[in-house]
Amino acid sequence: MLNKTEDKIKHVAIIMDGNGRWAKEHGKDRKYGHRAGAQNLIDISETCIKNNIDYLTVYAFSTENWNRPEDEKKSLFTLLEEFYKKEIKRLIKNNIKICHIGDISKFPERTYNIIKKTEEETRQYLEGKDIKLTITIALNYGSRDELSRSIKNICLDFDKGIITTDDIDENLILRYLDTNDIPEPDLLIRTSGEYRLSNFLLYQIAYTELYFTDIYWPDFSEEEFIKAIENYKKRKRRFGG
Ligand code: IPE
Ligand code: IPE
Ligand code: MG
């Protein structure tokens, strides 16, 4: 549901862009940039907790990123596996919940298994505990793919008689999206100086505030995050009213 009443920033979404260009500027390969980007996600999740944000949703691999060279994809999947094995465990121990959106079944089997295992461990470990932050990682995510999959599921439930055409409204659609159990983002940040959404959360950001910065993702520090938050706080959200 749209978070219309509160001033509190509940949910921040980030298009973590610019790893490759950041690496190039440092005379390194793209892999080095992705590694620095992954480390920055850890730092920013701590910043979110400090700032009382409940949900952080990050774009890590898009449905279009399959078009990248094989060796870059391979190094991204290896990095993902390492990241889950090492860092995510630490996050969970700090009462951070890890969720996913996107179709992870398309990933190589080893990567897929590690992601699934982490999800399961998160669920078990955090049962009954106070959750400090929910991080949703978008993996093989694209809004158009998400919408297609959700329409398919709506049709299947219609066929089974679980829903009727009268049930179909904005809220029902929200419930069939991958993001069904998280609120809509209050603020969407895109780093690296690109002014586009690249197929990210198109349905969910109908009334989200947008913030674009030239800073490359690995350099998007706590200070830069606070700048985005301060900028958001100056805005007046009207929701058409
Ligand atoms: C974002 O950084 C991370 C992914 C898309 C996986 P890029 O890899 O897009 O870096 P640039 O945009 O080429 O600098
Ligand atoms: C968007 O960045 C996807 C992620 C950050 C994972 P891209 O670098 O893939 O997007 P474009 O190609 O610049 O639109
Ligand atoms: Mg990019």
Q: Where are the domains positioned within the chain?
A: 8-142+184-237
Q: Which of 14, 16, 17, 72 to mutate to test the pocket of ligand 2 (most atoms within 8 A of CB)?
A: 17
Is the Cβ atom of 76 under 6 angstroms away from ligand 2? no
Length of the chain: 241
Residues 8-142+184-237: name the CATH superfamily.
Answer: Decaprenyl diphosphate synthase-like (3.40.1180.10)
Active site residue 157: no
Residue nearest (by alpha carbon) to ligand 2 atom 1: 198
Active site residue 67: no
Q: Cβ-count burial of 218 within 10 angstroms (0-12 exposed, 13-18 middle, 19+ buried)?
A: buried
Structure tokens that stand for 178 in this block: 């991958």
User: How many angstroms is it from 198 CA to the middle of ligand 2?
Assistant: 6
Per-residue pLDDT of the chain (241 residues; tens, 9 = 90+): 444 545 799 999 999 999 999 999 999 999 999 999 999 999 999 999 999 999 999 999 999 999 999 999 999 999 999 999 888 878 888 899 999 999 999 999 999 999 999 888 888 899 999 999 999 999 999 999 999 999 999 999 999 999 999 999 999 999 999 999 999 999 999 999 999 999 999 999 999 999 999 999 999 999 999 999 999 999 999 999 9
Q: For the chain, how big is the Rg over CA atoms in Å?
A: 18
Rounded to whole angstroms, the Cα distance separating 238 from 241 reads 5
In the chain, beta strands by DSSP E: 11-15, 55-62, 96-101, 133-141, 187-190, 209-212
User: How many angstroms is it from 37 CA to the middle of ligand 2?
Assistant: 13
User: Which member of 29, 54, 65, 199 is catalytic?
Assistant: 65
Is the Cβ atom of 220 under 6 angstroms away from ligand 2? no
For the question of whether the overall pTM of this predicted structure is more than 0.85, the answer is yes
Structure tokens that stand for 29 in this block: 């390969």
Q: What is residue 211's predicted lDDT score, i.e. its pLDDT? A: 98
Beta bridge pairs of residue 135: 56, 98
User: How many angstroms is it from 171 CA to the middle of ligand 3?
Assistant: 32
Structure tokens that stand for 167 in this block: 């049930």
Rounded to whole angstroms, the Cα distance separating 151 from 173 reads 8
Question: What is the Cβ-side half-sphere exposure of residue 12, based on CA atoms within 13 angstroms?
Answer: 25
Is the Cβ atom of 20 under 6 angstroms away from ligand 1? yes
